[in-house]
Amino acid sequence: MKNKKKIVDIPFEEYLKKLEKIVQQLEEGELTLDESVKTYEEGMNITKLCLEKLNKTKKKIEQLVIKSEENYSIKPFSEKEGEDTINEY
Amino acid sequence: MNNYKESKIYTVSKLNKYIKKLFENDFNLQDVWILGEISNFNLHSSGHMYFVLKDKESQIKCVMFRGNNYTLRFMPGDGMKVKVRGDVSVYEKRGEYQLYAKEIIEAGKGELYLAFERLKEKLKDEGLFSEEIKKKLPLIPHHIAVITSPTGAAIRDVITISLRRFPNLSILVVPSLVQGTFAAKELAKKIDFLNKYFKDLDFIIIGRGGGSIEELWAFNEEILARSIYNSKIPIVSAVGHETDFTISDFVADLRCPTPSAAAEMTIPDKNNLINNLSLLNSKMNRAVKRNLELKTENINSASRSLKYQGPENKINQYYQYIDEFSIRLNSRIRHRIELYEERIKKDSQRLGSLSPWAIIARGYSICRKIPGKEIIKRLEQIDLGAKIEVIISDGKILSKVEKKEVVPS
């Protein structure tokens, strides 16, 4: 499942490049009306996707607690407790 | 217990002074050569040098005062293996014994340094540092892990800087020892663990704040280098201060001089990105608007030119053409007529001036034979006694030829 996700997941850089190209095409002004409407729509769509990408993650500061080779838990990060957990592994 | 009263009671300073004397009276401790590796070297602004001399098991503090160290032919530094000549004595204030160095000779490079160089060469030959295998970090990380000490300034800096640049980032702190005998193995295990259970991580920052070469040593060990090399998740190595290079730095996909720098270099500034996007967006809007205006203008001008080329317009044009033509024709003809009239007038004037009557009026006359009315031009045409008529402007004179005389011309 993860692999599938990776394929669909176009890097942000690519989106930016595409958007820059769209702006350039529109600025050159050589597109037909239909084309420029289509291109504009694509640009708006990419902008939306970019913003979604920027905002999709939630802020989270967590700490990994490894209990054994196969067993772990995650808890909110706290600097004070950190020291004790080092030796748990 | 011992008899308290019989014991001697010293002050601390007296004790230290006593011990110092013991050292100084022991010739084994005076003017001796000591072999070891320099560590924690510090050239104080006073000009005195402070450092630690050590071997694998043990260490001793050393000082070399300015009066002695100005003769040195090299600048001592951490990791150098040296022979130091000096006196071992006591620094009474602290109750510490130390080596007062008078002379330092380089004894080849330090063993740690050599071990570092040997491992570096070996791993380089195996291709662990090769640029082609370095993985690219995504521009927008969502989920990153930081393997480091959970209590140092390093993790605090990484979290603070990362969140400042990208406020909605997910950071997984993976606590680990970062120095000491077990540190390298533990760091390596943490990398392996993340690769097993957290495959979705965008990358891992592994590092610690600066320290002596010994403190950073875990990052020079082979076991950690192998783990970094084998990691499917990109690894960012961020060890120590800017000048320290470790084996981890060479193997990692990205080397940053410090943990703070790692956050600056790997986490994008979200505001910047959004500004960039909205700039592109407004550029796009402007371009489309201008495009539409241009197209509208095109349509308007096309409909205007369509009107010009319609049949109504053509007929009108022909009318106008005909009108114009007839006007031109008329004026042409009139002009022609005028021209002829003018010419006739001129011709008739010229004709008038050529008529014999006009000549006669000026005093010339015509002679004609009678009868026959043949105009006489030469003497031989007439005989003496013949009758002739002379025509002048207002009548004629009948005459008789009395004499013929040749006038030489």
- Cβ pair B397, B389 in contact under 8 A: yes
B121-144 average pLDDT score: 92
Q: Which two tokens stand for residue B122?
A: 């070996």
The reply to whether A83 touches chain B by the CB within 8 Å rule is yes
| Contact residues, B window 272-291, toward A, CB-based 8 Å cutoff | 273-274, 276-277, 280-281, 283-284, 287-288, 290-291
CA angle, B347 then B349 then B350, to 5°: 65
The reply to whether B161 touches chain A by the CB within 8 Å rule is no
Residue B303 has pLDDT above 90, yes or no: no
Residue B400 has pLDDT above 80, yes or no: yes
In this prediction, residue A84 carries a pLDDT of 47
pLDDT per residue as tens digits for the range B261-285: 999 999 999 999 999 899 998 988 8
Let me know whether B193 and B298 are in one domain.
no
Among B280, B286, B292, most A C-beta atoms within 10 A, so best to mutate, is B280
Among A17, A21, A22, A23, most B C-beta atoms within 10 A, so best to mutate, is A23
Q: Is the dihedral of CA A50, A53, A56, A61 positive or negative?
A: negative
In this prediction, residue A9 carries a pLDDT of 63
pLDDT per residue as tens digits for the range B9-56: 889 999 999 999 999 999 999 999 999 999 999 999 898 999 999 998
- Cβ pair B219, B259 in contact under 8 A: no
Task: Test A85 with B150 for CB contact under 8 angstroms.
Answer: yes
The reply to whether B182 touches chain A by the CB within 8 Å rule is no
In chain B, the N- to C-terminal Cα span, in Å, equals: 193
Q: Which of B216, B242, B267 is the last residue of a domain?
A: B267
Give the DSSP H or E segment for A61.
strand A60-66
Domain of residue B210, residue span = 124-131+140-267
In this prediction, residue B288 carries a pLDDT of 85
pLDDT per residue as tens digits for the range B186-214: 999 999 999 999 999 999 999 999 887 77
pLDDT per residue as tens digits for the range A63-87: 999 988 888 999 998 765 544 444 4
Task: Test A26 with B281 for CB contact under 8 angstroms.
Answer: no
SS3 A17: helix
Let me know whether B217 and B276 are in one domain.
no
- Cβ pair B80, B109 in contact under 8 A: yes
Give a yes or no: residue B6 inside a domain. Answer: no
Burial of residue B363 (CB within 10 Å: 0-12, 13-18, 19+) is exposed
Orientation of helix B270-309 relative to helix A12-28, angle to 10°: 30
Q: Provide the whole-model pTM.
A: 0.57
Give a yes or no: residue B350 inside a domain. Answer: no
CATH of the domain at B202: 3.40.50.261
Let me know whether B205 and B252 are in one domain.
yes
| B270 → chain A, closest CA residue | A54
- Cβ pair B89, B24 in contact under 8 A: yes
Cβ-Cβ pairs closer than 8 A, A with B, add up to 124
Which residue in the set B169, B177, B284 is minimally distant from A40, CB to CB? B284
Give a yes or no: residue B344 inside a domain. Answer: no
The domains of chain A are located at 2-55, 59-89
Chain B residues in contact with A22 by the CB 8 A cut-off are 284
Let me know whether B160 and B258 are in one domain.
yes
In angstroms, rounded to a whole number, what is the distance separating the alpha carbons of residues B316 and B307?
A: 12
pLDDT per residue as tens digits for the range A8-43: 467 788 888 888 898 888 888 788 878 888 888 888
- Cβ pair A82, B175 in contact under 8 A: yes
Domain count, chain B: 4
Give a yes or no: residue B24 inside a domain. Answer: yes
Those residues with Cβ within 8 angstroms of residue B265's Cβ, 6 or more apart along the chain or in another chain: B236, B254, B256
B224-245 average pLDDT score: 88
Among B140, B193, B194, B276, most A C-beta atoms within 10 A, so best to mutate, is B140
Let me know whether B150 and B243 are in one domain.
yes
Let me know whether B103 and B24 are in one domain.
yes
Let me know whether B385 and B300 are in one domain.
no
In this prediction, residue A1 carries a pLDDT of 38
Give a yes or no: residue B373 inside a domain. Answer: yes
Give a yes or no: residue B7 inside a domain. Answer: no
